[in-house]
Amino acid sequence: MRAAILAGGKGTRIGEMFPDLPKPMIPICGKPVLQWQIESLAAQGITDITLIVGYKADVIKQHFGSGENFGARLGYIVEDEPLGTGGALSLLPHEDTLILFGDVYCDIDISRFIAFHKQKQAEVTLFVHPNNHPNDSDIVVADNQDRVIEWKSKKDKDRGWFRNLVNAGLYILSCDVLPAGDIIKRDLDHDLIIPIIENGAVFAYRSTEYVKDMGTPERLNIVERDIKSGMVAARNLKNKQRAVFIDRDGTINQEAGFLTLPEQLLLIPGAAEAVRLLNASSYLAICITNQPVIARGDVSFEGLEDIHAKLDTLLGEEGAYLDDLMYCPHHPHKGYAGEVPEYKIDCDCRKPKPGMLIHAAMRYNIDLSQSYMIGDRTTDIAAGQAAGCKTIGVRTGDKLSDGVCDVEPDVLSKDLLCAVIHIIKKEKNGNSSQKLLESDL
């Protein structure tokens, strides 16, 4: 596969800091962001790269030349007049192409991205992820087969509750999607991708890897901090990950019995701050929840998605996000009015079984022995122990003495925030586990 990098940007928001440089040449830790991209692609075997340049194109061409010094073979398309993000794509070779925006810093395992694209036989694959500023990002809506079904623009006035799944600015386009013919001004998203969503061949590849737009001074500083701390490299899925698995009801949001409406979902005080702390740490934040309301017939999959959209939106409003949310829709006990028979089974994913944690470990290359499970019920603790995780019980749901499973957590905590602070302090200080946190005494 070959790559194309859209590197014609001027950088209006960050340009005052670097008035003599095109945006892709802005240095990150002493190296242009475009150089980071080219070297990362070349190191993973993608050496045929086309740079689509415009503003101060000579600065870019002078720095990179043929690409030989950077392990790549570079070609250039120079836009004398801006053609939008999709206008020059008609000049690319007619083959599947990985496309990147030149102002995005990323460190990803590209082979996983490509493998997903091929498995789905997609016309377009979007690299998507949650972020801490979803309100000023384009949101992608995908079904449970990862097929994109809707696009919510950041320019839309009222998007309602939404899942935090953001278009990250990395794409794979099949040769059939690349435009041919006249060279006209086009927008990659709105003119090429959004119109074919209804065909069912646009897919969302969800990843926890590091991808960040560095187009503002604040975000540039964050990227440099994260590179220096080692977080960026550690998040590449070639490396083993660590996660904090978090129960939903009674741990993140207030216990409300069988929660069936978005209006019933209220965050527990401090929960968003806890998730935000995890986002800034080396741990993934993954929600693991039993949702028998599906099998009982109390809520449809669409209704549950609305509930989780509210959860994502509330967390996003406080600058926090879940790296993923996995749920079990099954329930083994029959006899409920309106129950859905095909989900009335004894499955491998319903806690206290560890199926959801094991699935997450496979998807994100997680070392379960270096991970945690936090929950308010004995089933949460039992699932974590069965998966080989360390466990923390929280008292916010008041279910740790429910008697369903004969287990005890490694640590007891007042709430999710105290539990996460304990994990981060233990990580920093290397302290051994303790039965009670100081914040509980």
Q: How far apart (Å, rounded) are the C-alpha atoms in residues 327 and 332?
A: 15
The catalytic position among 213, 247, 312, 324 is: 247
The answer for 115, left when phi > 0, alpha when psi is -120 to 50, beta otherwise, is: alpha
For this structure, is 48 an active site residue?
no
Contact by Cβ (8 Å): 159, 139 = yes
For this structure, is 367 an active site residue?
no
H/E/C letters for each residue in the chain? CEEEEEECCCCCCCHHHCCCCCHHHCEECCEEHHHHHHHHHHHCCCCEEEEEECCCHHHHHHHHCCCHHHCCEEEEEECCCCCCCCHHHHHCCCCCEEEEECCEEEECCHHHHHHHHHHHCCCEEEEEECCCCHHHCCEEEECCCCEEEEEECCCCCCCCCCCCCEEEEEEEECCCCCCCCCCCCCCHHHHHHHHHHHHCCEEEEECCCEEEECCCHHHHHHHHHHHHHCHHHHCCCCCCEEEEEECCECCCECCCCCCCCHHHCCECCCHHHHHHHHHCCCEEEEEEEECCCCCCCCCCHHHHHHHHHHHHHHHHHCCCCCCEEEEECCCCCCCCCCCCHHHCCCCCCCCCCCHHHHHHHHHHCECHHHCEEEECEHHHHHHHHHHCCEEEEECCCCECCCCCCCCCCCEEECCHHHHHHHHHHHHHHCCCCCCECHHHC
Contact by Cβ (8 Å): 92, 174 = no
- Both tokens of 9, joined, read 């940007």
Contact by Cβ (8 Å): 138, 167 = yes
The catalytic position among 213, 249, 298, 415 is: 249
The residues assigned a catalytic role are: 247, 249
